[in-house]
Chains A and B, each alone.
Chain A
Amino acid sequence: GENVEQHPSTLSVQEGDSAVIKCTYSDSASNYFPWYKQELGKRPQLIIDIRSNVGEKKDQRIAVTLNKTAKHFSLHITETQPEDSAVYFCAASWDSGSARQLTFGSGTQLTVLP
């Protein structure tokens, strides 16, 4: 089955700096890669996702890049703000259209220091 590794497990940055979280996956059939953000005591929420036919996707201060050959994808947050502090999870899945099983990474605790 799919295996997703996520690094680093913890990350502290100064407010205004950039943060990068990296994930690798094992199953070359995976074609969908979402990122979820979980604030303390809250439910995980999708912040951005990318499909395997795209190399990069941006949404304001957040971007995700995908390297299919190397089987890794990364989350980039620019101009970090205190409200970006949360646990971020990457995930991978193959999308048959009729069934989906997301495999999540172990999470990165991001702390933005004021």
Chain B
Amino acid sequence: KAGVTQTPRYLIKTRGQQVTLSCSPISGHRSVSWYQQTPGQGLQFLFEYFSETQRNKGNFPGRFSGRQFSNSRSEMNVSTLELGDSALYLCASSWTLPLEPELFFGEGSRLTVL
């Protein structure tokens, strides 16, 4: 079974630009979550989507947005990039059943903002 796939793996942007990251979940998984990972800050929750609906949202500014398509693939967008947005952005998919709570992470998209 294919794992969670994220694209692109690496990207460099400049301040003020916007970026779109893509995530393809494991087949059958309908929940997709996004996390920002920075040194010393651990994994910060961005948002979670299920059946094209955002169910949860973390404490990030409105510049961070996302969406999910009918095939469960998800994208996140960051507009008006700031230097502090440089991070590894991890996508995770999961079943939505209480007895199957494990998150399966992708390898991440490493964003560098210059």
List of A residues within 8 angstroms of B106 by Cβ: 43
Our pick among B31, B42, B98, B105 for the contact of A45 (Cβ within 8 Å) is B105
- Asked if residues A99 and B48 are in contact (CB atoms below 8 Å), the reply is yes
Interface majority SS (helix, strand, loop, mixed), chain A: loop
Please name all residues of chain B whose beta carbon is closer than 8 Å to the beta carbon of A65 when the two chains form the complex: none
With an 8 Å Cβ cutoff, the count of chain B residues facing the other chain is: 28
A103 touches B105 (CB 8 A): no
Known: A44-B90, A44-B105. A89 touches B42 (CB 8 A): yes
Whether the pair B48, A101 counts as a contact (CB closer than 8 A) is yes
Interface residues of B (CB under 8 A from A): 4, 31, 33, 35, 40-45, 48, 50, 55-56, 58-59, 90, 94, 96-98, 101-103, 105-108
Chain A residues with a Cβ under 8 A of chain B: 1, 6, 9, 32, 34, 36, 42-46, 49, 89, 91, 93, 95, 97-107
A-B contact pairs, 24 of them (CB 8 A): A6-B42, A32-B101, A34-B103, A36-B103, A42-B107, A43-B90, A43-B105, A43-B106, A44-B43, A45-B105, A89-B42, A91-B43, A97-B98, A98-B55, A99-B48, A100-B31, A100-B101, A102-B103, A103-B45, A104-B43, A104-B45, A106-B41, A107-B42, A107-B43
